[in-house]
Structure 1
Amino acid sequence: MNTQHMGSSGPPGRVTAKVLFVCWLAILFEGYDVGVMGAILPAMAEDKAWNLSPLELGALSSYALLGMFLGALVIGTVSELIGRRRMLLVCVTLFSLCMGGAAWAPTPEWFGGFRFVGGLGLGGVIPVAAALTIEYSAVQRRSFNYGVMYSGYSLGILSAAAVAMFLMQEHGWRAVVAIGLLPLFVIWPMARALPESLEYLLGQGRDDEAKALCSRLGMELPQKAAKISGEITGWRQVLAEVFARNNLRATICFWCALFCGLLLIYGLNTWLPSIMRRSGYDLGSSLSLLIVFSLASAIGGMFLGRAADRFGVRLMVAMFYLLGALAILALMWPHGMIFNYFLVAVAGIGTISASLILTGYLASYYPARVRAAATGWGLSFSRLGAMTGPIIGGYVAGSGLGVEWNFIVFTAIALLAAMAVALLPRKPGADR
């Protein structure tokens, strides 16, 4: 990973803070959009108008994830051609409008259609926000800054659960979904605060604009990166970089670990309240566990990012995937609520926090000229895991197997994630 682009000390703190805040907001909105399905699923299951089975509910939850798969695949690469800043704002606008459409949807088919289109925007936010955060962060603080930025995702999921607790009983699940329109009101302030990617400007040969931006931001002009053009970031060239011989093992490990990580995140986020209800807890307690799951991962992401900067990403992420697996397994036995909160908190850190730090490491692993594109391709594959998670939860719920099998299946997947991270090769001269 070339580190010379921002100088040895990194960009000015105020510039980093602005970029982090805008990316944090975008990820917060995405977290709400994704988390809303887990929050409203128990109410949708009881909606007599649609009368959906557990497997149908799981499939309905996966429509957005299918869109996210395609969005991450395409938008990360397209952002290198038209600009990361513009693409981030387009993505937020798209998924916000689709939340309004989903709230209106008269049938499950309409709901699924809006969720799919919104998913295109959701899938594009993470690779673009990741690339901007890594670019505008000092090398020695990248994992920490990424953890701060991505804490918005967990807080967004938390917000979805909290809004559901306050609104759903009186106004129904549609009101909870409609809150997802709110990001439209902050798009303009976000656009004014967020600078364009200097890597993008230099790669496009727009040196004068890059110099003007550096002057406005009060920072030195980075050394000119390799051209980020259609010839460099076309599909074949991106894949050639990602699957180059020196990157092949890392790519396989990244993709496998993130596949498992996102399967855990979306499977647990979608089904945790329902699983806990089947285990004998009431709806309020089940939703409060989802809030703990999200809040712990938000705080844990910053802690884990700091630890990863100090002790190495591979060691810390593999360790917390393992701890998450043990916590998920322990939930299959009855405990008091306080101990359940503790286990769910560890599971949140060991799934969401571990996966987000690993995503930041992925974004910094590949050359700057294909950073967003390579992240997008990796996350696209991991979206297959995200789509599989709700379906697996629905299959187990509707199969007649005991509720403990939900915990056993998710535990096994967390162990696979830990193994894949442990096998990641160390990148010479870069993060541990």
Structure 2
Amino acid sequence: MKYLASHATLLDGGVRKDLVMRRETDAIDGPAVGAGHEISPAKSYLVVALCWFAIFAEGYDIGVLGAILPALSTDPDWNLTPLQLGAIGSYTVVGMLIGGIVIGTLSEIYGRKPLFLFCLTLFAACMLPSAFAPTPFWFGVSRFIAGLGLGGIIPIAAAMTIEYSPKARKSFNYGLMYSGYSVGILVAALCGRAFLADYGWRVIVLIGAAPLITVPLLWKLLPESVESLVSRGKQQQAREVAARMGVPMPVQQVTSKGKAGWKQVLAEIFSLHRAFETICFWVALFMGLLLVYGLAQWLPQIMRKNGYALGDSLMFLAVFSFSSAIGGIVLGSWADRFNVKTTVVLSYLMGGVGIAALAIKAPLLVNYLFVAIAGFGTISASLILTGFLAQRLDASVRSAGTGWALSFSRIGALSGPLLGGYIASLNIEPAWNFYVFAGVALLAALAVQLIPARPE
């Protein structure tokens, strides 16, 4: 008690310094909730399932542009060039870049749950004006606004999934949760194949607004983050949620005002002792998202230039997405069992081989296999890497730190569609698309390999 009192009364010119919440406070508030125990599988999977659904909706939103791109490229009313098509995809990514930084940080200050649901509502609602956009300009505006929500929801989902997962299953649960992203892209591709020719691209976009009806249910079922409540000084609410979910109370900092502020959050994210680690993570994620967004948008169009029919070209995107959905779960399991860094490095290398192999004019089924390897090794590696980053961050900035890293990587995502559009505008052999993207995969693998080891 004397130890606590001495720390609680430190003054600096009349301003109370930040306090460190320690387990010694249990002498006052009672035993730590859930101490020595981990969350039950059922409650863990509830959080994973709810985050999965939101990421699924995001995956559909992202994948829909690749699915409708062949129709947009031949729309007589808009008459878009390859570079304009690439720019349309980039509007979303610019919004995601801003959303990851702003919303990721706001979620640490005002709560992860409300910002999570705000993001889902925002990007799903924006599918309505996108579907009815009269001109490319208004389509781009709606995609930019949607991007704010799309960029904000991923770091929050990452933080929630890592927080509410048992230690031995964090990578697996993260891979399972993020498989929703690939399934969403897959569903977008299947909807494009089923409805695009008969109903046009606007119907495919309109389907993406359906998650709006689920927001009230998610508000009821999704718990607030205990980490977030503690960092904002809401100890009683944190204990109630921790008791309900069966998780221990975290040990982390709060300010004298009872909640984290911008300065505290940013100071932890950009601490000098983690500078090199941060650079490695950011570069790897930059390269990874360049691959994901570049291939997701341009793969059907590239395969059409290779001589495949529209339906077969869209199936390449479906196979790419489906294999990555499986890959995220498989790689997550391997990462928990073996070593996360090694798993991600080998995955990027394998993805690069699959991408380069697509330059070979092989039979259709063989190219489907190469696409599956590319999807398994690129999207899957990037999502496991994001989960690895979230695990390495302090609990008080898990969402914000992931948001900042992903926002930087959005520059890579922004570059992917533009790079694909630039290569398409050169009228060179389609094989060069695959050589360039395979080289990007190699750079991603190198950056991950350079991430310094940290004692467990």
| TM-score grouping bracket, smaller chain normalisation | over 0.9
Give the Cα–Cα distance (whole angstroms) in 2 for the partners of residues 100 and 34 of structure 1: 15
The question of 1:128 aligning with 2:156 is answered yes
From 165, 168, 178, give the equivalent of 2:193: 165
Aligned residue in 2 for 1:347: 374
Give the Cα–Cα distance (whole angstroms) in 2 for the partners of residues 202 and 323 of structure 1: 41
Question: Residue 11 of structure 1 aligns to a residue in which SS?
Answer: coil
Q: Report the alpha carbon displacement of residue 337 of structure 1 after superposing the two structures with TM.
A: 1.4
Is contact 1:264-1:410 (8 Å) kept?
Answer: yes
Question: Residue 404 of structure 2 aligns to a residue in which SS?
Answer: helix
Alignment of structure 1 residues 32-51 onto 2, 5 Å:
32-51=60-79
Give the Cα–Cα distance (whole angstroms) in 2 for the partners of residues 159 and 229 of structure 1: 48
From 233, 246, 268, give the equivalent of 1:241: 268
The question of 1:380 aligning with 2:404 is answered no
Structure whose CA Rg is larger: 2
Structure 1, unmatched stretches of 5+, are none
The question of 1:420 aligning with 2:442 is answered no
| Aligned Cα root-mean-square deviation (Å) | 1.7
Q: Report the alpha carbon displacement of residue 350 of structure 1 after superposing the two structures with TM.
A: 1.0
Once the two structures are superposed, what CA deviation does each residue of 1:100-139 show, in whole Å capped at 9, x if it has no partner? 1100100000000000000000001100000000000111
Aligned residue in 2 for 1:57: 85
Aligned residue in 1 for 2:326: 299
Question: Residue 246 of structure 1 aligns to a residue in which SS?
Answer: helix
Give the Cα–Cα distance (whole angstroms) in 1 for the partners of residues 275 and 256 of structure 2: 23
Once the two structures are superposed, what CA deviation does each residue of 1:254-294 show, in whole Å capped at 9, x if it has no partner? 00000000000000000000000111111111111111100
Equivalent residue letter for 1:161: A
Structure 2, unmatched stretches of 5+, are 1-21, 23-31
Q: Report the alpha carbon displacement of residue 57 of structure 1 after superposing the two structures with TM.
A: 0.2
Q: Report the alpha carbon displacement of residue 338 of structure 1 after superposing the two structures with TM.
A: 1.4
Q: Report the alpha carbon displacement of residue 212 of structure 1 after superposing the two structures with TM.
A: 2.0
Is contact 1:80-1:228 (8 Å) kept?
Answer: no
Once the two structures are superposed, what CA deviation does each residue of 1:393-413 show, in whole Å capped at 9, x if it has no partner? 000001122211111110111
Is contact 1:134-1:360 (8 Å) kept?
Answer: yes
Alignment of structure 1 residues 281-300 onto 2, 5 Å:
281-300=308-327
Aligned residue in 2 for 1:331: 358
Give the Cα–Cα distance (whole angstroms) in 1 for the partners of residues 390 and 429 of structure 2: 40
Q: Report the alpha carbon displacement of residue 13 of structure 1 after superposing the two structures with TM.
A: 1.7
Going from structure 1 to structure 2, the CA distance change for 1:422 and 1:392 (only over 3 Å counts) comes to same
Aligned residue in 1 for 2:176: 148
Is contact 1:228-1:370 (8 Å) kept?
Answer: no
Is contact 2:57-2:181 (8 Å) kept?
Answer: yes
Aligned residue in 2 for 1:363: 390
Give the Cα–Cα distance (whole angstroms) in 1 for the partners of residues 272 and 258 of structure 2: 20
Aligned residue in 1 for 2:344: 317
Alignment of structure 1 residues 31-110 onto 2, 5 Å:
31-110=59-138
Once the two structures are superposed, what CA deviation does each residue of 1:384-432 show, in whole Å capped at 9, x if it has no partner? 0001000000000011222111111101111100000011111221xxx
Is contact 1:263-1:387 (8 Å) kept?
Answer: yes
Equivalent residue letter for 1:410: F
Equivalent residue letter for 1:130: A
Once the two structures are superposed, what CA deviation does each residue of 1:362-402 show, in whole Å capped at 9, x if it has no partner? 11111101110100000000000001000000000011222
Aligned residue in 2 for 1:267: 294
Give the Cα–Cα distance (whole angstroms) in 2 for the partners of residues 75 and 427 of structure 1: 29
Moved more, 339-348 or 258-267: 339-348
Give the Cα–Cα distance (whole angstroms) in 2 for the partners of residues 242 and 202 of structure 1: 18
From 143, 146, 149, give the equivalent of 1:118: 146
Give the Cα–Cα distance (whole angstroms) in 1 for the partners of residues 454 and 201 of structure 2: 47
Moved more, 186-195 or 389-398: 186-195
Aligned residue in 2 for 1:175: 203
Q: Report the alpha carbon displacement of residue 228 of structure 1 after superposing the two structures with TM.
A: 7.0
Q: Report the alpha carbon displacement of residue 339 of structure 1 after superposing the two structures with TM.
A: 1.1
Equivalent residue letter for 1:209: Q
Q: Report the alpha carbon displacement of residue 215 of structure 1 after superposing the two structures with TM.
A: 3.1
Aligned residue in 2 for 1:214: 242
Give the Cα–Cα distance (whole angstroms) in 2 for the partners of residues 235 and 109 of structure 1: 34
The TM-score with structure 1 as length reference comes to 0.95
Once the two structures are superposed, what CA deviation does each residue of 1:214-271 show, in whole Å capped at 9, x if it has no partner? 3333x25414422279998545443432332321111000000000000000000000
Is contact 1:81-1:230 (8 Å) kept?
Answer: no
Equivalent residue letter for 1:319: L
Give the Cα–Cα distance (whole angstroms) in 2 for the partners of residues 264 and 228 of structure 1: 40
Once the two structures are superposed, what CA deviation does each residue of 1:5-29 show, in whole Å capped at 9, x if it has no partner? 9755421222111100110000000
Equivalent residue letter for 1:324: G
From 423, 429, 435, give the equivalent of 1:402: 429
Q: Report the alpha carbon displacement of residue 205 of structure 1 after superposing the two structures with TM.
A: 1.5
Give the Cα–Cα distance (whole angstroms) in 2 for the partners of residues 46 and 237 of structure 1: 51
Moved more, 304-313 or 233-242: 233-242
Equivalent residue letter for 1:413: V
Is contact 1:145-1:305 (8 Å) kept?
Answer: yes
